[in-house]
Amino acid sequence: MTETTPVDTVDSAPTEAPAAEAPAAKPAKKEDSFAVFLIKLVLIVVIFRSFIFSPFNIPSESMLPRLQNGDYLLAAKWPYGFSKYSMPFSAPVIPGRILAQQPKPGDIAIFKAPPSNDVDYIKRVIGLPGDQIQMIGGQLHINGKAVPKQRVADFEIAVSPNTHCYLPQFEVRKPGGAAVCSYPQYRETLPNGVSYNVLDLFQTPHDDTPVFVVPEDHLFLMGDNRDNSLDSRFPAVANEGIGIVPQENLVGRATVMMFSTDGSANWFLPWTWFTAARWNRIGGTF
């Protein structure tokens, strides 16, 4: 019997070619560095503060009763157009004034005060270019006509670290013992129908003025606290007045009250952060 030699069997299935090497994955994009993030954040803040809204605080009582020392508000930057004075630090990036719009009588405007043009002031717009403004016996006159001025209830504001009575005669004690400043208050109505309250404490030399004629591209501005405001009735001299203000100096228009404090908060006593807040003033619009 013949022995058969076993034959090696060959797998007939085709041999698979080695898989092609996959292209190397692109390295994941690195996140922006912290420095780049800070630059972007600064740019966003600068654009927001330059062209949209900017915060301002009230450091005096010249705009009582509407604005109180310790108020923090937002000013809209676009209503009056833009100039270098509406830019942070008055950066000279805008020649003249662009997208200019005329303020309305009664607006509460923030502006750079002459003569230095480097300090923010806030006053009410009273006279526009061509208007004739005069005070006679404590009553405002515009273009020869007396602006209606009606006596209303006295304005009262609590004595606090941010509020001291102008003179001792205006400080009174309430039945509970709290001290308040009580001031004579009047309702004034401009020819365009805008009404607001003003304080008129007593007769002063600046209750009677000559006629001021507002030049082109300028504004006549006054504080609502008529006997405690260095405004357009006074010449543009440092710490003495602002004169008639160029519209180029406009920064923005008061829009909404963000916060208000009577100044009694203590950083080391957290509960005073809440008791010092004037909650009823927050959120008010102008």
Q: Would you please indicate which residues are annotated as catalytic (active-site) residues?
A: 62, 123
Q: How far apart are CA 72 and CA 13, in angstroms?
A: 84
Tokens representing 274 are: 């809440």
Q: How far apart are CA 161 and CA 148, in angstroms?
A: 35
* Residues paired with 218 in a beta bridge: 246
Cα 30 to the center of its chain, rounded Å: 39
Instruction: Show the CA angle centred on residue 255, arms to residues 251 and 256, nearest 5°.
Output: 130
* Residues paired with 123 in a beta bridge: 109
The total number of residues written for the chain in this structure: 286
Q: From residue 149, how far is each of 124, 189, 223 by CA, in Å?
A: 16, 7, 15
